[in-house]
Amino acid sequence: MPVDKSWMQSGRSSEDYFAGVESFLNYAYNHVKPDDSKIFCPCSKCSNRYRHLRYEVHKHLLYNEIKLTYTTWYLHGEGEGEDEDSDESDSDNDGHDVASMEQDDDMHGLIEEGYPQDPNGDAHKFYKLLEEAEQPLYAGCESYSNLSFVVNLMHIKGIGTMSNKAVVSYM
């Protein structure tokens, strides 16, 4: 039986919205692990990025309202098989085993193979920093890497309130 989500379109001050928030929380907490007390908060500010306790999620949904584009509650248990008939066999119309078809279906691998994703500019900078952290400052130097030297230099600059011009003139 599909979940009633019509309350999401109601105003935050309506009785339907209050009752809908309660039904959402009951639904979400029926689908959490027994030892887990936090769920992702679907309010418009948290946007399912942060996990909170029930009373915090309740407060957020009342003050900030639910994110209206969150129509399938996939982070709160919807789509975990409660709508499927367990009496039906796991085969499609042609008699093929659906479970084995899903295992053979590596869509993420196919997408990555067709469209390899190179790191963006920020990732390149990060990888460059990692390389600099491994390189010694000069041959035989075990105390400092290129990165640690620059970090220490910037620390000295900050403590001594040196200008950029003063630091560059020493280099």
Domain boundary among 76, 103, 134: 76
The pTM of the full predicted model, rounded to 2 decimals, is 0.46
Domain boundary among 76, 93, 112: 76
161 vs 99, 151, 156, 164, CA distance in Å?
65, 15, 8, 9
For residue 166, what are the domain limits?
121-170
- Domain for residue 98, yes or no? no
- Domain for residue 97, yes or no? no
Give me the count of residues in the chain. 171
- Domain for residue 21, yes or no? yes
pLDDT at residue 25 is higher than 60: yes
- Among 28, 34, 71, 63, smallest CA distance to 46 is for 63
10 and 64 inside one domain: yes
DSSP-assigned letter for residue 136:
B
72 and 10 inside one domain: yes
- Domain for residue 161, yes or no? yes
The mean pLDDT of 88-110, rounded to a whole number, is 47
**Residue 92 vs residue 114, higher pLDDT:** 114
- Determine the Cα angle at 82 with ends 79 and 84, to 5°: 90
pLDDT at residue 103 is higher than 50: no
